[in-house]
Amino acid sequence: MEPEFQIIGGGLIGLSTAYALLKRGASVRVIEARESVALETSFANAGMVHASLADPWNGPGVGWQMLGSLIGVKSPMTLRLKTLPSLTGWGLKFLKHATPSRHWRATQANYQLAEYSAALIHTWRHALNIQDDFQGLGLLKIFRQQAALDKAALISDKLCSLGLRAEYLSGSAAAQKEPCLAPIADKLVGAIYYPDDYKADAYSFCRALEQAVIKLGGEILINTKVLSLREQNARITGARTSAKDLQADTTIIAAGARSTNLLRPLGICLHVRPVKGYSLSFENVKGPRLPVVDDGQHCAVTSLGQVIRIAGTAEITGFDTSLPRSRLMPLLTMLREVYPALAQNLSLEDGKAWQGFRPVSADGIPCIGMVKPGLAINTGHGHMGWTLSAGSGALLADILRAKPTKIDSTPFRLNRT
């Protein structure tokens, strides 16, 4: 008997959607191309759940930053020349939504989903007894330039009107909050502490969800690549895979940035593109208590168990899976800038390198909902995938089961302007 729903993609979003649907009484199949779940973008991300960072990357002025990156100017988002031809539609829409009003609208939508999702992740963690190195001590964002701090404070103040809690600290107070920052305290103009954010390992969470899905009667197929979607009488009836054709009442695409490739043959334009990120993980390092985002270095550092991980860069370079030393060495340099005492004896060879493709939507808001009869989507979460995972899965599950949604689903529909 074919399931009601089959989900393409076994990462955070796909597994969260599967679990949410199963808890609502549905029958579910997950199709994963890799040899196991969560080996792509969910595998070694920064390990932070943060409603505080709900603002999309296409903030005002991002266009000049991207253009500058083409000629070597240091920028939070790096654009590679070879990708320009494939970015025409997405790029124009990305810049269109970089106005203050549109950017704030996207930030509000993301924050509402993030707040809902972060609480739901807690609920699932408790219900399933998930061991994912969770520590709910908050998150610290540090600043080396007053202008950057002032800009971040404007967004935080506006989010505080929606319920965010934030505490403004001096550089010395930030070092008291996180003692490992003491060597650079005099370099900091200030910091913002977000007590409700937290750190946890996304990969461990995914593996626990995998077991929960199976226990609830869900099916997970690995080593199964979806080649195309099957359509009959204007309705999607299933998927053609590397193993066999798989049918379902509704197929859900939760394949991250690769979702675009599955929709394109149907004439559906999904404005989501891959933005590559890297991380380095060092084992047996007694790291800091708090997850830290360094605004000036454009990186995040998290201690997960006995591992310290630095994640950073936002590189628009298509689906380039390489791990060049020239991209990894700056991460180690950044780690030394944040925690010189911890990193002074570490070398690139000591770390485990990783890269992943964040699925970034042109307007900075994920796409969640029905696309056409028999087809739904859940992707475009950008840098917020871990944070938005449970909430996105539950939101889509309620939409598909025709139940009242806990938050307004309107901002996340595919055909928004």
Q: Is the dihedral of CA 54, 56, 62, 68 positive or negative?
A: positive
The model's pTM is 0.95
To which residue do tokens 């806990």 refer?
A: 406
pLDDT of residue 65: 62
Which tokens sit at 164? Answer: 């965010």
Tokens of 313: 């860069």
Evaluate whether 414 touches 380 at the Cβ level (below 8 Å).
no
Phi-psi region of 313 (alpha: psi -120 to 50; beta: other; left: phi over 0): left
- Please state, in angstroms and rounded to a whole number, the distance separating the CA atoms of residues 411 and 392: 12
Contact 142, 293 (CB under 8 A): yes
Which pair of structure tokens corresponds to residue 414? 């595919």
| Alpha-carbon separation of residue 110 from 102, 134, 154, 182, 253 (angstroms) | 12, 22, 17, 33, 20
Give the Cα-Cα-Cα angle 6, 9, 10 (nearest 5 degrees): 100
End-to-end CA distance of the chain: 39
Q: What is the pLDDT along the chain (417 residues), one digit of tens a residue?
A: 789 999 999 999 999 999 999 999 999 999 999 999 999 999 999 999 999 999 998 888 765 565 555 556 565 566 665 666 556 788 889 889 999 999 999 999 999 999 999 999 999 999 999 999 999 999 999 999 999 999 999 999 999 999 999 999 999 999 999 999 999 999 999 999 999 999 999 999 999 999 999 999 999 999 999 999 999 999 999 999 999 999 999 999 999 999 999 999 999 999 999 999 999 999 999 889 999 999 988 899 999 999 999 999 889 889 999 999 999 999 999 999 999 999 999 999 999 999 999 999 999 999 999 999 999 999 999 999 999 999 999 999 999 999 999 999 999 999 987
pLDDT at 92: 85
Domains of the chain: 5-412 (3.50.50.60)
Other Cβ atoms within 10 Å of 108 Cβ, number = 18
